[in-house]
């Protein structure tokens, strides 16, 4: 996709010129990632919406937590797998491959996390995220206790729930708008 192409099927071009703070953020992305993720370009038609999205994303995925960054990316991939979100599977699958150094893990999580070589902690975490995605109203104390039994704190459970909830929302927006991942993601960490 050329940088001038729209990142979704909607005719919502980026604000031009971008506000200085937004341009600085995009410049950091370009420097660190070698690209500006299309999800950011998609939201850049409305800077308030972009700021809300990036604020929530950065807090959930990058801020200090009892969950590692890799664990949060694993949740993103498994939720996106259940929801069949092309954008997030490609982008966050690349992140899992890069952070774990294990392309097989990234591929297993994209296709069927149940075949992945996971420890009890990660299996419980991902089982909970899938239950949130497919049947959130069925979650009961036994589900939370299963997470505690493998070492998660109540604050960790909050973070698992919020990461899973965030990706359930973003998956639906990405699918509804036909958001396309940057081509660069496909070849990363393989």
Burial class (CB in 10 A: 0-12, 13-18, 19+), 86: middle
Give me the long-range contacts of 54-59 (CB less than 8 A, separation at least 24). 54/25, 56/166, 57/166
Provide the CATH number for the domain formed by 20-62 in this structure: 1.20.5.810
**Two tokens at 132?**
């949130």
Query: How far is it, in rounded angstroms, from Cα 155 to Cα 35?
Result: 33
Which tens digit of pLDDT belongs to each residue from 4-56? Answer: 588 999 999 999 999 999 999 999 999 999 999 999 999 999 999 999 999 99
Q: Mind listing the pLDDT tens digit for each residue in 82-122? A: 999 999 999 999 999 999 999 999 999 999 999 999 999 99
Fold of 69-187: AhpD-like (1.20.1290)
Residue 106, C-beta contacts closer than 8 angstroms, at least 6 positions apart: 77, 93, 94, 96, 97, 100, 189
pLDDT band at residue 1 under the 50/70/90 scheme: very low
pLDDT of 3 strictly over 80:
no
CB 51 within 8 A of CB 44: no
Domain ranges within the chain, ordered by starting residue:
20-62, 69-187
| pLDDT tens by residue, 134-150 | 999 999 999 999 999 99
Lowest mean pLDDT among 88-92, 176-180, 183-187: 183-187
Residue 124 · residue 133 · CB < 8 Å: no
């Amino acid at each position: 996709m050329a940088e001038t192409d729209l990142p979704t099927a909607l005719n919502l071009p980026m604000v031009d010129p971008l506000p200085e703070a937004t341009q600085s953020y995009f410049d950091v992305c370009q420097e660190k990632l070698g690209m500006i993720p299309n999800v950011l370009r998609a939201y850049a038609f409305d800077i308030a919406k972009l700021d809300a999205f990036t604020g929530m994303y950065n807090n959930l995925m990058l801020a200090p937590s009892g969950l590692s960054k890799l664990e949060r990316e694993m949740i993103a991939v498994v939720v996106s797998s259940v929801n069949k979100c092309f954008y997030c599977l490609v982008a966050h699958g690349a992140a899992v491959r890069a952070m774990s150094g294990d392309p097989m893990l990234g591929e297993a999580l994209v296709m069927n996390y149940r075949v992945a070589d996971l420890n009890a902690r990660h299996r419980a975490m991902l089982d909970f995220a899938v239950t949130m995605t497919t049947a959130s109203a069925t979650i009961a104390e036994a589900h939370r206790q299963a997470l505690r039994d493998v070492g998660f704190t109540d604050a960790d459970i909050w973070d698992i729930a919020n990461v899973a909830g965030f990706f359930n929302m973003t998956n639906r927006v990405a699918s509804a708008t036909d958001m396309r991942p940057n081509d660069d993601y496909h070849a990363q960490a393989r």
